[in-house]
Amino acid sequence: MLTVEDLTKHFGAIRALEGVRFTVKRNTVAGVIGPNGSGKTTLLRGLAGLLPMDSGSIRWEGAPIPAGIRSTWIFYAEDATRPHALLRVAAIVCFYGSVFHRSRLFCDQIIDRLQLRNWLTARVSDLSKGTAKRLVIAIGLLSTQPVLMLDEPFDGLDLRQTLELIPMLREIAVQGRTLVLSIHQLRDAERACDSFLLLNNGQMTGSGTLSELREFAKCAPGSDLEAVFLALT
């Protein structure tokens, strides 16, 4: 279980995060949702140890994980990145497969399921936004840390690619990893996630399953995530 307690980050007078606390169960997919500027990326960067927090603690299975060793437990794939821009896709997949001791078969499966086969000889700098996003996701799926965090994994993907990626992510969770996804599109979040972490103005305004959030927000039975989102933000 991933446990976050009282995470706080201020940028001068701006309260990017204020006393954020939540838990994410093992082998589940949690979606971080909230309006623009609510603190989603700040939260993920703080969890990954890339951005120092003013206060708070992060625990995995009850044991604290300080920022300096966070990468041992958490792999973070940030949005809008193009890693190793001058290298070719095949070299990058091979490199990360080797780093994480993945078999050739596993790497090939990731390549095929993310539709990267036709781009293996292309340089990262020449990839479209959607293809570059699929490469970043591939690196995340090749990693082996117990917690995988993806920032906007569906951004740049078309509907078919999104619908094909969702079961992949759920399979990864069932196989033993805990996923935390920052998602802008609420319909995608509702399809992909078991639980939700709702941020607004740097504060956690709700967390739990859709049914738990629906009850907390006093929404009508059967209300979708959009209705809950509007009620709590």
Q: How far apart are CA 227 and CA 101, in angstroms?
A: 44
DSSP state of 123: B
Neighbours of 230 (CB within 10 A): 12
| pLDDT (mean) for 3-23 | 95
Q: Is 3.40.50.300 the CATH number for 2-81+150-232? A: yes
Q: How far apart are CA 178 and CA 172, in angstroms?
A: 8
Q: How far apart are CA 39 and CA 33, in angstroms?
A: 9
DSSP state of 219: P
Res. 4: pLDDT tops 90: yes
Res. 80: pLDDT tops 80: no
For residue 4 the two structure tokens come to: 């976050």
Res. 174: pLDDT tops 80: yes
Report pLDDT digits (tens) over 88-116: 999 999 999 999 999 999 999 999 999 99
Neighbours of 79 (CB within 10 A): 17
| Mean pLDDT, the chain, whole residue set | 94
Global pTM? 0.93
Q: How far apart are CA 10 and CA 186, in angstroms?
A: 27
Res. 151: pLDDT tops 90: yes
Residue pair 110/138 in contact by the 8 Å Cβ criterion: yes
Res. 191: pLDDT tops 90: yes
Q: How far apart are CA 24 and CA 208, in angstroms?
A: 9
